[in-house]
Chain A
Amino acid sequence: MKKRVIMEVQKTALYNYHKNLGAKFVPFAGYEMPIQYKEGIVKEHISTRSHAGFFDVSHMGQFFLEGDETLIEALEKIIPADLKNLKINHSKYSFLLNENGGIIDDLIITRTEKGFCIILNAACKENDIKQISQFLTKNHKHLLNNNLSLIALQGPKSVEILEKLIPGVANLKFMTGNNFDYEGEKLYVTRSGYTGEDGFEISISNKKVEKLVDYLISNKVKPIGLGARDTLRLEAGLCLYGHDLNEKINPVEANLKWAIAKKRKEVGGFNGWEKIKDLLVNGSEKIRVGIKPDGKVIARENTKIFSSDNNEIGFVTSGTFGPSVNAPVAMGYVKSEFSELGTSIQLEVRGKKYGGKISELPFYKKSYVK
């Protein structure tokens, strides 16, 4: 008898809601997710930047950890953030690292009253939990909470709109969070996001999420799909795991060494530290850069990058048309000696070479509230 493994496609609590909003769905990390709604990617992108948009990111893992003081030690073995000095309700962008310093996943970790909450990428969450669990003991409890949805509200009007519904959120600074009351429940709101705009991520029970989204829509907040999420984050110079980051790339190569805590860089004690210490002193062979093609051509993922004298020097990991920049934008890895801003490069698209330049990141100026 043949064994048949049926992979069931997962859906977020808002699946039918998206359907009624006219979403086009794509399979993403095992979930049926909206790629766009009726108006299309460019309009969704622009309305996020000019007003506000909401994103259902409930496919991402909301992983909660509790435990005694040894929990910090355990997590610091795989996460290079300074968790000891992370204040309650403060968040950091960080990674899970493997023994070679490669990035298993990138994440946001928040100190809670009882421990930590880590937001994990949907495609990585199962493996992430396996990797983290290696360092946990019976004194540590953990839970991937599938009863919670996660809604990102992004854009300049986000604060005004959310403050009316949940008084107090306006006082949150970028990368901090807190518990708030809503409809007789506690929900957790952080001021953060993935678009380069001011905004919030709201962790809310699956039961109440529709009501929250009803309110947002009544305030002219448009639903935004994965398509515009990608153009927004790329303009903001933010990495997408599985494209710009993977297990073979370390934080120094990814130009994310700022995300390794200063104290941890010096003292180490985390996976891959030896390798990373060496790279911090001597530099890496390749490094992540921003890229702007000279014309209108779009250099998508895997586009080969050549020097002006025709030597292959790297590859593109993300590339699209940036609606707010009104030009194509890309990110990729080049040999470090070609990483200086303004360096002329060539991009091979459909067998033809097009000019481009190493460009500053982000392509679009951020407006976070600090």
Chain B
Amino acid sequence: MSEKKFSKKHEWVSLDGDVATVGITKHATEMLGDIVFVEVPDAGKAVEKEGQAAVVESTKAASDVYSPISGEITEGNKAIADDPGSVNSDPEGASWFFKLKIKDKGEYDLLMSKDEYDKFCKENPS
């Protein structure tokens, strides 16, 4: 598994061959608060880079989760749809959102490193 890369919309991606795993960052869950609903995409769905791919809702509001990378969904994480609160406890581990077969590794390379993302969050407090 490759190192995690990060998007400006607070998703993380890790890569295993040509299959990417995508989730939302710890920082994102802290901004959202208590997560009470998650909708993940079905296998076979095509997603574009920065296209809407999943939904996450906290007690406060609904937010879209975007795919930081283009490809075809191979799996949505049903476990988080059944237990949305688990996203708060392990957002960057077991509570990933979806996996997809990517088309262009170049999109992954362009994403931010952990250090760059942490810096981005500091410079863009919400």
Contact = CB atoms under 8 A, between A and B. Distances in A.
Interface of A: 35-36, 40-43, 227, 231, 296-298, 300, 320-321, 323, 328, 350
Interface residues of B, number: 13
17 contacts: A35-B60, A40-B33, A40-B34, A40-B59, A41-B59, A42-B36, A43-B34, A227-B60, A296-B37, A297-B37, A297-B39, A298-B57, A298-B62, A300-B62, A321-B36, A328-B37, A350-B55
A24 to B, nearest CB: 9
Contact of A231 (B39, B59, B62): B59
B91 interface: no
Contacts of A323: 34, 59
A42 B39 CA distance: 20
Contacts of B68: none
Contact of B59 (A227, A296, A297, A350): A227
A41 B57 contact: no
Interface of B: 33-34, 36-37, 39, 55, 57-60, 62, 81, 84
A41 B58 CA distance: 9
Main secondary structure of the interface of A (DSSP, over half): mixed
Given A41-B59, A227-B59, 7 more contacts: A35-B60, A41-B58, A42-B36, A296-B36, A296-B81, A321-B34, A321-B36
A296 B56 CA distance: 12
A231 B57 CA distance: 14
Given A35-B60, A41-B60, A42-B59, A296 B84 contact: yes
A323 B60 CA distance: 13
B69 to A, nearest CB: 22
Contacts of A40: 33-34, 59
A365 B36 CA distance: 22
Nearest to B33: A40
Contacts of A231: 59
B42 to A, nearest CB: 12
Given A296-B81, A296-B84, A321 B37 contact: yes
A296 B39 CA distance: 10
Nearest to B38: A296
Contacts of B59: 40-42, 227, 231, 320-321, 323
B85 to A, nearest CB: 8
Given A231-B59, A320-B59, A41 B37 contact: no
A43 B84 CA distance: 16
A333 B59 CA distance: 22
Contact of B34 (A35, A42, A328, A350): A42
A321 B36 CA distance: 7
Given A296-B81, A298-B62, A36 B33 contact: yes
A297 B55 CA distance: 10
